[in-house]
Structure 1
Amino acid sequence: MQRRSALSLLLLLAACGEATGPSESTPPPTKVGVVEARPQPTPLAFEYGGRVTAVRQTEVRARVGGILLRRAYTEGAAVKEGDVLFRIDPATYQAAVDLAEAQVQEADAAVQRARRDQRRTAALLRADAGSLKDRDDAVSALAQAEAGLAAARARLATARLELGYTTVTAPISGVTSLEAVPEGSLVSAGGENSLLTRITQMDPVYVAFAFNGPDLAALSAGGVRDLPVQVLLDADGGPEGKVSFTEATVDPTTGTVRGRATFANPDRRLIPGQFVRIRVSGRSREAIRVPQAAVQQDVQGPFAYVVGPGSKAERRALRLGRTVGSEWVVEDGLRPGDRVIAEGVVKVVEGVPVEPAPVEASPVQVGEARP
């Protein structure tokens, strides 16, 4: 009887051991890496497409007609304001100047004669040897002669101007285009063949672009004018300039605001008509940033896991801003002090215990913001 009781006790203990065996044990927590959510200085930097335009571009046209004798510059070369570009045959205009100078001399002689006549008639009238009519006629003749002299001088000035126009100079400093008409051609003032060349000022240059509404609102808190702008030509960036103009109204069609930046361009890296990408940088603000690896997306939108009470994974819906380097700016969904799971996210299930370990966030340089 005792042997049966002992056997029953052994069987009962064995059954209890099977019920509490390894198959019913709790799995270990998932090891994850976390970063602490905390506000950090975050640069405002927005990228746009833009087009390079010349600050000044002018057409050089003939102001007098004649045979184009010589081109005095190298096509495509830089010229300075006042440099001689073309020479038009001056023979006709030199003859006009000579004629006008002779007419001035003739008119001046007429004035001298009229002045002497006026003095003579005045003296005769005082001696009661002349008449008032003679005196008045002499005064009128002098006035007429003086008017003739003024007209002759005006014709001479016009003739000299036209003679000067036969030497065509650069109105601005810049780079010349191809000549529009070859040497030996007949050009005319104001005609279709009056265009001789074009000059484009290459330093400085403008880049025209357009702000979108939210970006401008974020930037305008500190004022938009004179904000730093960089052209993104290669991995090392490109020329740097400043915002020099913003439109006062929003384009109702596109919802954007036209802007313009000015860049120094001594090495001519920027060419008018060229399309470029630019980055407009503004002031920094405090914002929570998390590594991009911590953010996931599903039909409900972006979200991340944080370490909740009891070290269990807790899902948080996020409202994201822009990327800054390798991090997302989180506008809403996280609170300072939250431990955000950034490593081992693919193994995390909501409500499952995790074993967090801190990881270092990658440093972010000012100016790395992207749209």
Structure 2
Amino acid sequence: MLGATLVSAFSLAGCGEEKAGAQLQGPPPAPVRAAVLERKDVPLRYEYVGQTEGSRSVEVRARVQGLLLKRTYREGAFVREGDVLFLIDPEKYRASSAQTGGELAALRAKLEQTRLEHNRISDLFAKGVVSAKERDDAFAAYDSAKANVAAAEAKMQSEQLDLGYTQVRAPISGITSQEVRSEGSLITTDSAGSLLTTITQLDPLYVNFAIPGTESMQVRRQAQEGKVVVPAEGYSVRLKLADGSVFEQAGRLTFEDRYVDPSTGSIRARAEISNVKAQVLPGEFVRVLLDGALMKDAIVIPERAVLFSQNGPMVYVIGEGDVAELRPVTLGQGVTGGLVVESGLEAGQRIVVDGIMKVRPGGAVSVIPEPEAGGEGKPVAAGKEQSAGNGGVN
């Protein structure tokens, strides 16, 4: 009986030691996905809020007054340069032109008569038959007749223009607005009564936006320091539309102001985009994407690898023995693939990119390289991600 009691006591003591040993060993390593950091050239994309605008907006005005007989276009439709948009009553101008035409014919006949008289008197004066006064009178009559014909021709040309202006044509190709004057209205040539409609040219399309002055200054400083290479031929421009899609046509930056607007702290800029199909209309709000700049020797980490705490952004760095340590970092702008690290990390270090919620500071992690196509593990190249095996990473 005593022996059985002793055996039981020793058994209980052994179990207690095993549990204590297990507690001392701690939790198992957390499965994670990791990445080896490397420095590389990274394409930059700058993004701003912009608004579209027609490259030209022209007021269509009447050049002659009269009764507006007809509007020949559909409001809001596309018209081509030279298309007839409005018809103003032409009868007054047609009659005036016909009258001037008759007067011109009479003056040309008079001119021919004075020309013949001029030539005849010149011959007679050379023979000494007529006096100098008669010769001078003939010359004056001929010159006067020529002047009268020239004046009548100019008047005729002006009246022909006025007659042509009764057909109001589109000065440019573009989209029309609503009519300002309806059919039957009396059109005048002053600023208030001559406006008929407005045409906006959609191709090319302008996009106006503002660049924060601080950001522009940072880019200039980085370019001077050799950290950023600015495209020599200018930025390429893409538009992200309101539905989230990216417009198919690329454009270019055509204007950037040389001073910062003190009221907004920003720099005015404008891009030009081809819009042949008129898919984008003036007045739309868009996201302007500027591409072409390059950041040299940058370290980029996935955004999901960053823990944002009260002390700022932190990253788990995997050290010797696969122990994870929290490291504060200074982050720069977002780029394709993640965030630029300005300080806090170096090339060659490994960081946790997935499974960070399972990691504890100073805790062990389990990193398994990505398998090859045949299923065998392989060392991970710099900048490539490593994943934990058996799933287990959220």
TM-score, reference length from structure 1? 0.83
What's 1:332 paired with? 343
SS at match of 1:297: strand
CA positional deviation for 1:319: 1.4
CA pair 241-86 structure 1, distance change in 2 beyond 3 A: same
Deviations 1:279-300 (A, max 9, x none): 2222444422222232123333
What's 1:25 paired with? 24
Tell me how far apart the structure 1 counterparts of residues 286 and 27 of structure 2 sit (CA, whole Å).
Answer: 54
CA positional deviation for 1:140: 2.1
CA pair 344-174 structure 1, distance change in 2 beyond 3 A: closer
CA pair 248-192 structure 1, distance change in 2 beyond 3 A: closer
Aligned AA (2:127): A
CA positional deviation for 1:271: 1.2
Contact in 2 for aligned 1:291/1:361 (Cα 8 Å): no
Unaligned 5+ runs, structure 2 = 1-9, 371-383, 387-394
* 1:103-122 map, 5 Å: 103-122=103-122
Are 2:290 and 1:291 aligned? no
* 1:34-53 map, 5 Å: 34-53=34-53
Tell me how far apart the structure 2 counterparts of residues 41 and 244 of structure 1 sit (CA, whole Å).
Answer: 23
Which 10-residue stretch deviates more, 172-181 or 153-162? 172-181
CA positional deviation for 1:155: 0.5
Tell me how far apart the structure 1 counterparts of residues 245 and 167 of structure 2 sit (CA, whole Å).
Answer: 46
Tell me how far apart the structure 2 counterparts of residues 313 and 268 of structure 1 sit (CA, whole Å).
Answer: 55
* 1:99-138 map, 5 Å: 99-138=99-138
* 1:35-114 map, 5 Å: 35-114=35-114
Which 10-residue stretch deviates more, 210-219 or 258-267? 210-219
What's 1:178 paired with? 178
Q: Structure 1 vs Structure 2: percent identity of aligned residues?
A: 38
CA positional deviation for 1:67: 0.9
Contact in 1 for aligned 2:180/2:195 (Cα 8 Å): yes
Aligned AA (2:329): L
CA pair 103-220 structure 1, distance change in 2 beyond 3 A: farther
Task: Could you list the structure 1 runs, at least 4 aligned residues long, displaced by more than 6 angstroms after superposition.
Answer: none
Tell me how far apart the structure 2 counterparts of residues 85 and 114 of structure 1 sit (CA, whole Å).
Answer: 47
What's 2:381 paired with? none
Which 10-residue stretch deviates more, 297-306 or 156-165? 297-306
Are 2:220 and 1:221 aligned? no
Contact in 1 for aligned 2:114/2:145 (Cα 8 Å): yes
CA positional deviation for 1:212: 3.2
Contact in 2 for aligned 1:291/1:327 (Cα 8 Å): yes
SS at match of 1:178: coil
Which 10-residue stretch deviates more, 143-152 or 104-113? 104-113
Unaligned 5+ runs, structure 1 = 1-10, 363-371
Are 2:232 and 1:232 aligned? no
Deviations 1:196-247 (A, max 9, x none): 2222223331111123353654687113635132333434422322124122
* 1:184-263 map, 5 Å: 184-213=184-213, 214=215, 217=220, 221-223=230-232, 225=234, 227-253=236-262, 254-263=264-273
* 1:149-168 map, 5 Å: 149-168=149-168
Contact in 1 for aligned 2:229/2:293 (Cα 8 Å): no
CA positional deviation for 1:48: 1.2
Aligned CA RMSD, in angstroms, stands at: 3.0
Tell me how far apart the structure 2 counterparts of residues 248 and 182 of structure 1 sit (CA, whole Å).
Answer: 42
CA pair 21-245 structure 1, distance change in 2 beyond 3 A: closer
Tell me how far apart the structure 2 counterparts of residues 184 and 30 of structure 1 sit (CA, whole Å).
Answer: 87
TM-score, reference length from structure 2? 0.78
Aligned AA (1:315): L
SS at match of 1:320: strand
SS at match of 1:43: strand
Tell me how far apart the structure 2 counterparts of residues 21 and 342 of structure 1 sit (CA, whole Å).
Answer: 34
Contact in 1 for aligned 2:235/2:291 (Cα 8 Å): no
What's 1:319 paired with? 330
What's 2:280 paired with? 270
CA positional deviation for 1:164: 0.7
CA pair 50-245 structure 1, distance change in 2 beyond 3 A: same
Contact in 2 for aligned 1:35/1:342 (Cα 8 Å): yes
Tell me how far apart the structure 1 counterparts of residues 235 and 305 of structure 2 sit (CA, whole Å).
Answer: 36
CA positional deviation for 1:347: 4.6
Which 10-residue stretch deviates more, 113-122 or 146-155? 113-122
SS at match of 1:56: strand
CA positional deviation for 1:278: 2.5
Aligned AA (2:105): Q
Are 2:290 and 1:280 aligned? yes
Tell me how far apart the structure 1 counterparts of residues 115 and 354 of structure 2 sit (CA, whole Å).
Answer: 107
Are 2:319 and 1:302 aligned? no
- State the aligned residue count: 349
Deviations 1:313-371 (A, max 9, x none): 33322111233456322122211110112334345444455444457649xxxxxxxxx
Contact in 1 for aligned 2:38/2:299 (Cα 8 Å): yes
